[in-house]
Amino acid sequence: MKSIDEIWKTRLNHHINETRSYLKYMLNDHLLFVFIFLAAGGAVAYSGWLKTVPSDFPAIHLMALTFALIVASSNVRTLVKEADIVFLIPMEHKLKAYFKKAFIYSFITQCFVLVVLIIVFSPLYFAVTPANGGDLLICLLFILLIKYWNLRMSWKMEFYSESSTRLVDLFVRFVVSLCTIFFAFSDEYMYSIVLIVVMFLYEVYFSKQVRARAMKWDQLIKKEDARKQSFYKIANLFTDVPKLKKRAKRRQYLDWLLKQVKYNQENIFDYLFIRAFLRSGDYSGIVMRLTIIGAVVLYVINNELIGNSLVVILLSFLTGIQIMSLYKHYDLIELPSLYPKAESRKLSSFLQIIYKVLLGQLFVYLIVILLKGHVVTTALTLGISIVFITVFVYGYMKSRLSSEKRV
């Protein structure tokens, strides 16, 4: 039997190799070009905005909220599997070294996001405060310490099955983290230190509580599987992922949309694609989330044609790319191919549905822009966005799906 160290090394290597294999498809030349273009455009827009940002802009509040949300959502990547509930439970008392390595791995990898964010926020922070590089470094150290505490507390919550306890703990960690980070960015280090003492006492209390509790393996395995499935969903946008588990949810209140499809042989995939889109949270959930994010961004930014158009185009592109895997939703099911004329209409049915989804999303964005009182900007954004969506769906998506079909 493998030692505990060998089990962790084997699983970590498998996890890294699997991630690399999918990233090879995800970060292809086309997507990298888009990201570089968007990053360059965003950097230019960010630099220009910083020149006009008011001195009373709530940058500290925004930064504190962002970092608090990230650190409070900390979790330990354990890489446990379903079979562990049978084979590793008897060895739970020997797994301390395994979970310690999992904790260190999680802390190091998740801190990377915090470092990138602090670099992104630094120009804004320097623009609205008299702080220098030393002050920002101290703030980063506070954030990393708070991250460490949140990760430890998140691990201790794996010994609790009561959802109420876990929710209260999440709320407490978020509030304490928010206040501590806010005081650090505000140059009120003494208040931050006092709150760190409170964090220490909070952890000491729960450390004593969990000694008499057993680890909830079923809960731990479900969480780890959910994290894997989240990555598989993203990877599935670019290539087939055999390990992806598809889930459907009955949404009877949306049946009226299905009734809009005319009952004839040519509309087989119209019906199937709409049904899959409505019942699967993988597709409708993505559209809902990106639509809400886009609406919020459009409401916050200035009423400039370029800014509005870039946001709409970016969100339309991300939405279309992420729901493109809907085209392969029925590839492993032979029944649709039995219908006459179904296969010949598959691509055109799919493109038509995606086009309508993106237009519906655009309609929501235009309402937000119009509510801000700029009719001309709304009209111009409409024209630019329709041109982009048309070229994107019937140009790029059609070409890409057709080429994949030939292969």
pLDDT digits 0-9 by tens, 119-167: 999 998 998 888 888 999 999 999 999 999 999 999 999 888 888 889 9
Over the stretch 29-60, which tens digit does the pLDDT of each residue have? 566 666 777 677 777 778 888 888 888 888 89
At 136, give phi and psi (nearest 5°): -65, -35
Rounded to whole angstroms, how far apart are CA atoms 142 and 192? 8
At 216, give phi and psi (nearest 5°): -90, 90
- Mean pLDDT across 250-260: 55
pLDDT for 347: 78
pLDDT for 290: 84
Burial of 134 (0-12, 13-18, 19+ CB in 10 A): exposed
Over the stretch 366-385, which tens digit does the pLDDT of each residue have? 888 888 777 888 888 888 88
pLDDT for 335: 63
Rounded to whole angstroms, how far apart are CA atoms 32 and 62? 29
Residue the block writes with tokens 């691990």: 155
Q: Is 215 helix (H, G, I), strand (E, B) or coil?
A: coil
Rounded to whole angstroms, how far apart are CA atoms 246 and 231? 13
Number of other CB atoms surrounding residue 72 within 10 Å? 22
Number of other CB atoms surrounding residue 227 within 10 Å? 14
pLDDT for 238: 66
User: Has residue 254 got a pLDDT over 60?
Assistant: no
The dihedral sign for the CA sequence 305, 311, 316, 321: positive
User: Is the distance from CB of 305 to CB of 369 less than 8 angstroms?
Assistant: no
Give all strands (DSSP E) within 85-197, no chain letters: none
End-to-end CA distance of the chain: 44
Global pTM? Answer: 0.70
Task: For the chain, give the mean pLDDT.
Answer: 82
Here the tokens at position 263 are 């009952």
98-105 own/partner pairs: CB under 8 Å, 24+ apart = 98/4, 98/5, 98/7, 98/8, 99/155, 101/5, 101/8, 101/12, 102/8, 102/76, 102/77, 102/78, 103/76, 103/151, 103/152, 103/155, 105/12, 105/77
User: Is the distance from CB of 184 to CB of 143 less than 8 angstroms?
Assistant: yes
Here the tokens at position 255 are 């049946």
Question: Among 94-103, 143-152, 282-291, 357-366, which stretch is predicted with the lowest mean pLDDT?
Answer: 282-291
Q: Is 382 helix (H, G, I), strand (E, B) or coil?
A: helix
pLDDT for 154: 93
Q: Is 27 helix (H, G, I), strand (E, B) or coil?
A: coil
Q: How far is CA 330 from the centre of its chain?
A: 25
Q: Which of 89, 56, 36 is nearest to 220 (CA)?
A: 89
pLDDT band per the 50, 70, 90 thresholds, residue 169: very high
Rounded to whole angstroms, how far apart are CA atoms 346 and 272? 10
Over the stretch 239-251, which tens digit does the pLDDT of each residue have? 667 777 766 555 5
At 130, give phi and psi (nearest 5°): -85, 15
User: Has residue 253 got a pLDDT over 50?
Assistant: no
pLDDT band per the 50, 70, 90 thresholds, residue 101: very high
Give all strands (DSSP E) within 280-333, no chain letters: none
Angle between helices 346-371 and 281-300 (to 10 degrees): 30
DSSP 8-state class, residue 129: S
- Mean pLDDT across 88-106: 86
Rounded to whole angstroms, how far apart are CA atoms 156 and 203? 9
DSSP 8-state class, residue 395: I
pLDDT for 30: 61
Here the tokens at position 16 are 């890294």
